[in-house]
Amino acid sequence: MTSGTDTATTASPSGARSRVVLGVGGGIAAYKACEVLRRLAESGHDVTVVPTSAALEFVGAPTWSALSGKPVSSSVWDAVHEVPHVRIGQEADLVVVAPTTADLLAKAAHGIADDLLTNTLLTARCPVVLVPAMHTEMWEHPATVANVATLRARGVLVVEPAVGRLTGKDSGKGRLPEPAEIVELARDVLARGGGPADLAGRHVLVSAGGTREYLDPVRYLGNRSSGLQGWALARAALARGARVTVVAANVALPDPAGADVVRVETTAQLREAVLAAAPQADAVVMAAAPADFRPAEVATAKIKKADDGSAPTVHLVQNPDVLAELSSSRVRPDAVVVGFAAETGDERGGVLDHARAKLARKGCDLLVVNDVSGGAVFGSPDNEAVILGADGRSVPVARGSKARVAHAIWDEVLRTER
């Protein structure tokens, strides 16, 4: 997978005091935007809320004003001397609209400016993230589909809605993603400071988390993988415009905003889900920690303690190596395959010696190497890595957030020819 774009830019560590406009459309999910606002404000951003008049039917201006610490209006006719219909958009570092209704998508696609939010969308020159929420029928209507395509072609990041409970008794695609994940995506876009959506039009597959291998219905063998690096990879790819599928093994985090998430438990389930999604993917990043071994037999009932105090013997068998299988089968010869290696040095060689050997053994294109001698990487918000390429390249990634490491990985994926 190669790109003509200069991909040297990686995320800056923080978007502190960045000016964010939070647009709020008139959908029931407007109440969730209060949580988006609170999280943005608490993480140090200067947030101006611009609700539509329909949004104010759901959540009143005092709520937005109290949470943002600023006056709130939906009209171009308030504080006219400050020319808010132009100024708010011009001064913004990021505009996020959550929820974006079908009506707002239509207005934005056609340049209609009949209130403060739609004027702001026309004057903003910063990145714009639209987070739609609506009934499935409205999302799938050809008019909405065309509007979304127009906006994406113009470089607007239109987030895929989540699948789940909608208003009333309905459920389906159209739900607002979790506020915490909307904020993570917004922070990622801000940190890139308007960097190119260089993964637009690409579909990437990321595996995350650690698998569980059951001994009986209540006990399992597991590992310490939190899924944080996999989530950071998914968010970073979404912020760069990719379509993202995540195969998540036991990750206790809400779905990244805009990703298709397949939840699995065991290595066998992870293998099945990854192999099913891989033919559609331009890149596969195996950030998960699948267990190398599983019990030869899974007891159907809970294993009881023996009266004589003896402990049961557990026989293990080896699990299939999903990364090696992906690398050797090459269902998509042009897809870039990336593995992770958690290594420690020993008397037979250093971390990078073992990693080079693993890269050759697994047959992948890139290997992200973590030195886990101190056990520090698990569950930590930070990471430090070396990215090795099958072409001989070795790219050190200095200690930083997992988001930063994720962007460095996507940079290398884009530089990889297949």
- Just list the catalytic residues: 223
Among 181, 321, 371, 411, binds ligand CTP (CB under 6 A): 321
| Shortest distance, position 290 Cβ to ligand CTP, whole Å | 4
Q: What's the rounded Cα separation, in Å, for the pair 363 and 376?
A: 27
Cβ distance 174 to 136 under 8 Å?
yes
- Residue 179 touching ligand CTP (CB under 6 A): no
Among 58, 220, 340, 410, binds ligand CTP (CB under 6 A): 340
Angle CA(61)–CA(64)–CA(68) in degrees, nearest 5?
Answer: 140
Q: State which of residues 11, 286, 335, 385 lies at the interface with ligand CTP (CB under 6 A).
A: 286
Stretch of 77-85, 154-162, 191-199, 284-292 lying at the interface with ligand CTP (CB under 6 A): 284-292
Nearer Cβ to ligand CTP (319/416)? 319
Q: List, in sequence order, every residue forming a beta bridge with 377; answer none if it has no partner.
A: none
Stretch that binds ligand CTP, among 164-172, 183-191, 257-265, 287-295 (CB under 6 A): 287-295
Q: Which is nearer to ligand CTP, 99 or 209 (CB)?
A: 209
Contact 391, 369 (CB under 8 A): no
Which residues are within 8 A (CB) of 307 and not within 5 positions of it... i.e. 6 or more apart? none
Contact range with ligand CTP by CB under 6 A, out of 28-36, 110-118, 319-327, 405-413: 319-327
Nearest-approach distance from CB 362 to ligand CTP, in angstroms? 6
Q: Report the residue number, 133 or 397, with the smaller CB distance to ligand CTP.
A: 397
Token reading at 221: 């063998």
Minimum distance from residue 185 beta carbon to ligand CTP (Å): 24
Q: CA 10 to CA 4: how far, in whole Å? A: 16
List the structure tokens of 103.
């009506």
In the complex, least distance from residue 205 CB atom to ligand CTP, rounded to whole angstroms: 12
- Rounded to 5°, the CA angle 191-192-197 comes to 145
Which among 186, 156, 185 has a CA at the least distance from the CA of 22? 186
Among 27, 241, 290, 400, binds ligand CTP (CB under 6 A): 290
CB of 233 to ligand CTP, least distance (A): 12
Q: Which of 74, 223, 250, 319 touches ligand CTP by CB under 6 A?
A: 319
- Tallying the residues shown for the chain, one arrives at 418
CB of 199 to ligand CTP, least distance (A): 20
Nearest approach, Cβ of residue 367 and ligand CTP (Å)? 8
Q: Does 323 bind ligand CTP (CB under 6 A)?
A: yes
Stretch that binds ligand CTP, among 74-82, 93-101, 317-325, 405-413 (CB under 6 A): 317-325
Q: Which of 341, 351, 388, 414 binds ligand CTP (CB under 6 A)?
A: 341
* Residue 278 interacts with ligand CTP (CB under 6 A): yes or no: no
- Taking Cα atoms as reference points, which of 14, 41, 19, 42 lies closest to residue 191? 14
Q: Which of residues 209-268 bind ligand CTP (CB under 6 A)?
A: 267
CB 46 within 8 A of CB 68: no
Is 64 near ligand CTP (CB under 6 A)?
no
Closest CA to 319 of 288, 356, 280: 288
Nearest CB to ligand CTP, comparing residues 33 and 338: 338
292 binds ligand CTP (CB under 6 A): yes
What is the contact surface with ligand CTP in residues (CB under 6 A)? 267, 286, 288, 290, 292, 319, 321-323, 339-342
